[in-house]
Chain A
Amino acid sequence: DSGVTQTPKHLITATGQRVTLRCSPRSGDLSVYWYQQSLDQGLQFLIQYYNGEERAKGNILERFSAQQFPDLHSELNLSSLELGDSALYFCASSNRVNYGYTFGSGTRLTVV
Chain B
Amino acid sequence: AQRVTQPEKLLSVFKGAPVELKCNYSYSGSPELFWYVQYSRQRLQLLLRHISRESIKGFTADLNKGETSFHLKKPFAQEEDSAMYYCALKYGWNSGGYQKVTFGTGTKLQVIP
Q: Which residues does A use to contact B, with CB under 8 Å?
A: 2, 4, 30-31, 33, 35, 42-43, 45, 48, 50-51, 55-56, 88, 90, 92, 94, 96, 98-106
Which of the residues A43, A45, A99, A104 comes within 8 Å of B49, measured between beta carbons?
Answer: A99
User: Do residues A50 and B101 form an inter-chain contact, with CB atoms below 8 A?
Assistant: no
Interface members, chain B 39-62 (any A CB < 8 Å) = 41-46, 49, 51
Query: Which residues of B lie under 8 Å from residue A101 when comparing CB positions?
Result: 34, 36, 44, 46, 88, 101
Contact of B43 among A2, A30, A33 (CB under 8 A): A2
Q: Does chain A have a CB within 8 A of B96? A: yes
> Known: A103-B43, A106-B43. Contact between A42 and B94, CB under 8 A?
no
Interface residues of B in 76-113 (CB under 8 A from A): 86, 88, 90, 94-103, 105-106
How many Å lie between the Cα of A50 and that of B88 in the bound state? 20
Complex Cα–Cα for A55 and B32 (A): 19
A43 in complex: contacting residue of B34, B51, B103, CB < 8 Å: B103
Interface size of B as a range = 20 to 34
In whole angstroms, what is the CA distance A13 to B31 when docked? Answer: 41
Q: A50-B97, A98-B32, A98-B94 are in contact. Are A105 and B43 (CB under 8 A)?
A: yes
Whether the Cβ atoms of A50 and B100 lie closer than 8 Å is no
Given A42-B105, A45-B103, A88-B41; A100-B96 close (CB under 8 Å): no
User: In the bound complex, do residue A96 and residue B102 qualify as a contact, i.e. CB atoms below 8 Å apart?
Assistant: no
Q: How far is the CB of A4 from chain B (nearest CB, A)?
A: 8
- Closest CB in chain A relative to B49 CB, distance in Å: 6
When C-beta atoms are compared, the residue in chain B nearest to A108 turns out to be B41
> Nearest-CB distance from A32 to chain B (Å)?
10
* Docked-complex contact A96 and B43, CB < 8 angstroms: no
